[in-house]
């Protein structure tokens, strides 16, 4: 009998999964850099940090539908669950022609951080379909939504993973998702998604929640830095639920919205835009382009506009090393997910610009989604005043904690938010242990 020779010790785990390429990391690469920056502050919990660098579960699905012209079209769909240590997955579903696996992975990871930062009992998840919904009829859009919901049905559920609206999805999409899941399981399950119409168990205040959270942390940061909101100049990129609501609230607080950019155009007015009129224009025409009460400007010039507060509330990767140096704002409040690259972050830091990161600034949406989920379970619904008051309290408490950590460690608010969130996630991971 030959003697047993022990094998050489296993090499450390690879930080990069085999399905990604190091030279094409996309948004996931941005997230990984953020994790690297926070690791030195995690102490003994850093032994678990690899947990944060790889999603728990990734599902890629084919979504075939019959188009109105009788042909069959196939679309690529995703659902990624990044981390479930603190509770069921929570995160939106976006319909966009440029959706990629890397993007959905990053968005799911930022949801993990965001949920932990405001201390709601969720893990991070995200979903998407690679499609331009503007090319689909209402019937095609419904069939796409229902087929996608059926395909990811083995992952989602009121106590497993709860989708919500994101880019190009809304309450109607959530209603179709809820109905499809309910039909497939044989019982009405209002808690399987949030962001639903109020008539189907949705929450009052949900539509404005993300923008209200942006405004709330903006007010707190302005107070701490001595920035007076009365007369402050605000520039907003993206004028949907997030950017539009934030602009309305800042204008009501006495600030002037001097520039707005979206996919239809870039407009400005040095003495302040009429925000209610602009919101009505966007509702009627689908974007800010063509608004009569403003001048137009070149899209690239938006980043150099004279302003005190800049709110990127569109897509990720908008503030880069190419345009960050042009930004004149004292305060950047990230309404979008991942709008600032790490290189741009460093440039803004060196310029003395205070950046309120997405993982705390736009957490108002998931906070009220949590309220909706709780209300669905109890079948007892709160007033809008109660919801807004609870939202403001949670956002202020979360921001206070992040601000304190930033001062203590002399780090950016983004790194401070990651310190708070990653500590909570990894403590939960450590206490739960590894099964088996």
Catalytic site positions: 126
Tokens 């929640």 locate to 209
Instruction: Give the whole-angstrom CA distance, residue 265 versus residue 79.
Output: 32
Beta bridge partners of 89: 123, 161
Q: Rounded distance, CA 195 to CA 173, Å?
A: 9
Which residues fall within 8 angstroms of residue 171, CB to CB, at 6 or more apart? 165, 195, 196, 197, 202, 207
- Strand 57-66 relative to strand 72-83, pairing: antiparallel
Q: Are 232 and 258 in contact (CB under 8 A)?
A: no
Task: Give residue for tokens 């979360």.
Answer: 398
Element (H, E) at 207: helix 206-225
Whether residue 159 contacts residue 153, with contact meaning beta carbons closer than 8 Å, is answered with no
Residues 71-110: b if buried by 16+ CB within 10 A, e if exposed: eebebebbbbbbbbbbbbbbbbbbbbeebbbbbbbbbbbb
Which is nearest to 330 in space by CA: 227, 415, 432? 227
Beta strands in 86-223 (DSSP E): 89-96, 123-130, 161-165
* DSSP secondary structure, 335-394, as one string: -SSS-B-HHHHHHHHHTT-EEE-HHHHTTHHHHHHHHHHHHHHHT----HHHHHHHHHHH
Q: Which residues contact 69 (CB under 8 A, 6 or more apart)?
A: none
Asked if 256 contacts 272 with a C-beta cutoff of 8 angstroms, the reply is: yes
């Amino acid at each position: 009998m030959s003697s047993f020779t022990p094998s050489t010790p296993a090499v450390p785990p690879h930080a990069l999964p085999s399905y990604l390429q190091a030279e094409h990391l996309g948004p996931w690469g941005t997230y990984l850099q953020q994790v690297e920056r926070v690791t030195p502050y995690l102490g003994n919990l850093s032994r678990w940090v690899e947990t944060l660098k790889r999603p728990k579960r990734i599902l890629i699905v084919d979504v075939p539908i019959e188009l109105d012209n009788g042909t069959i079209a196939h679309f690529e769909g995703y659902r990624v669950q990044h981390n479930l240590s603190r509770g069921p997955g929570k995160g939106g579903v976006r319909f966009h022609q440029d959706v990629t696996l890397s993007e959905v992975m990053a968005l799911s990871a930022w949801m993990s951080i965001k949920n932990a930062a405001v201390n709601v009992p969720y893990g991070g998840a995200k979903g998407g379909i690679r499609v331009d919904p503007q090319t689909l009829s209402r019937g095609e859009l419904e069939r796409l939504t229902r087929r996608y919901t059926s395909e990811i049905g083995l992952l989602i559920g009121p106590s497993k993973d709860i989708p919500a609206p994101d880019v190009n999805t809304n309450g109607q999409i959530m209603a179709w998702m809820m109905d499809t899941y309910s039909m497939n399981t044989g019982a009405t399950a209002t808690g399987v998604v949030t962001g639903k119409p109020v008539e189907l168990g949705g929450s009052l205040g949900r539509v404005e929640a993300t923008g209200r959270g942006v405004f709330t942390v903006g007010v707190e940061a302005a107070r701490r830095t001595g920035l007076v909101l009365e007369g402050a100049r605000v520039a907003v990129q993206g004028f949907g639920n997030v950017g539009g609501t934030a602009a309305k609230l800042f204008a009501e607080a006495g600030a002037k919205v001097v520039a707005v950019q979206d996919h239809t155009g870039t407009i400005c007015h040095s003495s302040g835009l009429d925000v209610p009129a602009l919101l009505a224009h966007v509702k009627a025409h689908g974007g800010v382009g063509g608004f009569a009460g403003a001048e137009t400007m070149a899209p690239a010039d938006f980043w150099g506009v004279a302003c005190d507060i800049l709110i990127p509330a569109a897509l990720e990767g908008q503030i880069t090393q190419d345009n960050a140096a042009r930004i004149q704002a004292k305060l950047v409040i990230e309404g979008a997910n991942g709008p600032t690259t790490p290189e741009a972050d460093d440039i803004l830091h060196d310029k003395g610009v205070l950046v309120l990161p997405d993982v705390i600034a736009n957490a108002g949406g998931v906070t009220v989604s949590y309220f909706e989920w709780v209300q669905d379970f109890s079948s007892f619904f709160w007033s809008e005043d109660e919801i807004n008051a609870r939202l403001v309290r949670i956002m202020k408490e979360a921001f206070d904690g992040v601000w304190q950590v930033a001062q203590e460690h002399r780090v950016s608010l983004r790194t401070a938010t990651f310190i708070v969130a990653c500590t909570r996630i990894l403590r939960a991971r450590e206490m739960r242990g590894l099964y088996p």
